[in-house]
Amino acid sequence: MQNDGQISGSIKAKAGELGLSGCAILPVGFLSGEMPPLQTWLEKNMHGEMSYMARNIDKRLDPRLIFENAKTIIVVLQNYFPAEEQADKTAPVLSKYAYGTDYHYVLKYKLKSLLSFIQSEIQSCNGRAFADSAPVFERAWAKRAGLGWIGKNSNLISVEQGSFFFIGELILDIELPFDNPKPIADHCGKCTRCIDACPTKAIVADRVVDARLCISYQTIELKGELGSNLKGKFENRVFGCDICQDVCPWNLKSEKNTEPAFVPNTRLLQLAKKDWHQMGKQLFDELFKKSAVKRAGFSGLKRNLCFIKSGKDQQYF
């Protein structure tokens, strides 16, 4: 029979085998400290049209309301920093997280594999995997797990890895040996590079992002017309944004991911500016068949392309 250290070690070893770059095991509980800032953010309507953010707040703060008899939460990280980037530096910019297969599928598959391992090698149990797909306060749990601190751009930042990673959770109805992580100190210091670099000034305060001004929200979440007040401020971003992460000194530590599912279609990275603006539905389906870009859809991508086009680009439409 395995002791506590062996159980914890075997779970983390399996997570490593699955390509997960961080893993912590915690007891499920109530995130009391997250309530005030969340309520203030919602009251100021900084969530824009993301109405789901204002729903299920009780569940967002307490996973025991999401999964019956929840006792343990395993928090993991998945690196997505790409080995290559877009060749044409004048082409519309795609967020790095959307280069390959939609992370929801990749991360959930890995978490379910980890669940199967626990069920077969550790103890019979029920569990549920989460990858930005339910009201789980993932950054708060990752912070509690000692996997990083919340940066001034509101992203989780790791001393070892920077911030180009996804966060996932596996919630179980059994108790496992829990970690006792120490909180990671805030290493942002006096640095304001992310705040200064944001072209739409979406980081309205230290660790507060007004989604309505955020390029990622505008190009992904917003379903109607893009904000006319932001015209000319997208810096050629067509789906998502990475500006606040690109300028973060901690991302000098980012290492290229080795996940096969995140390897992009070679043609995608070779698209020239003109190719993007002339893209038809057939090419869109070919390039983004399994991508997170499908969330915006062909019409959404074309809307974004029209929004960022310059006078010279108009000949392509």
Residues noted as catalytic: 132
Query: What does the DSSP assignment read for 117-150?
Result: HIIIII----EEEESSSSS--HHHHHHHTTS-EE
What residues does 78 pair with on adjacent strands?
A: 166
Structure tokens at 189: 């210091």
Phi-psi region of 274 (alpha: psi -120 to 50; beta: other; left: phi over 0): alpha
274-279, long-range: CB < 8 A, 24+ apart: 274/316, 275/91, 276/91, 276/92, 276/238, 276/305, 277/92, 277/305, 277/309, 277/313, 277/316, 277/317, 278/316, 279/305
Strands (E), the chain: 22-27, 72-79, 93-94, 127-130, 149-150, 156-157, 165-172, 203-205, 208-209, 237-239
Determine the 3-state secondary structure of 201 from DSSP.
coil
